[in-house]
Amino acid sequence: MIGLPSLQALDGAPGPRIWLAAEATDMRCGFDRLAQRVQAVIGADPLSGHLFLFRSRGGNRLKILTWDRDGYVLWYKRLEVGVFKLPRVALGAGSVELRASELAMLLGGIDMAKLKRVPRYERPAQRGAKHAETVVA
């Protein structure tokens, strides 16, 4: 049998965490101002190696800031048509953590608000078994 990865395995793989700032950010901000926003808005260390996402007021621009061993990396994308479909953020929250699959969907133009998980089978725990296995999609 071929062992194909599941979304759960991909999202649970070790790697950087991904944070999206809830409020729009001035896209004129460069490395240093975005690093300050990471500390002030997200409350994280910009040198942690995690990915920090910032969106424009219009929603058609996205910047990702990360630290790579010896310097910042800034990735910037502007959509020619449309806007990035961002996940909902709880009222009053300064940021939201994304899974790797959610970042891929965001960059791929998929509206996560319209996705729906369907019920999946979960094998009931066996009595007396030390380790019960569960099937999760």
Q: Is the pLDDT of residue 7 over 50?
A: yes
Nearest to 99 by CA among 51, 62, 137, 61: 51
Question: How does DSSP classify residue 124?
Answer: P
Higher pLDDT, 133 or 68: 68
Nearest to 78 by CA among 55, 100, 96, 99: 55
User: Average of pLDDT values for 1-17?
Assistant: 71
User: Average of pLDDT values for 106-130?
Assistant: 81
Give the least confident one: 13-17, 63-67, 73-77, 100-104: 13-17
Task: State the pLDDT at residue 134.
Answer: 47
Measured distance CA(34)–CA(20) in Å, rounded: 12
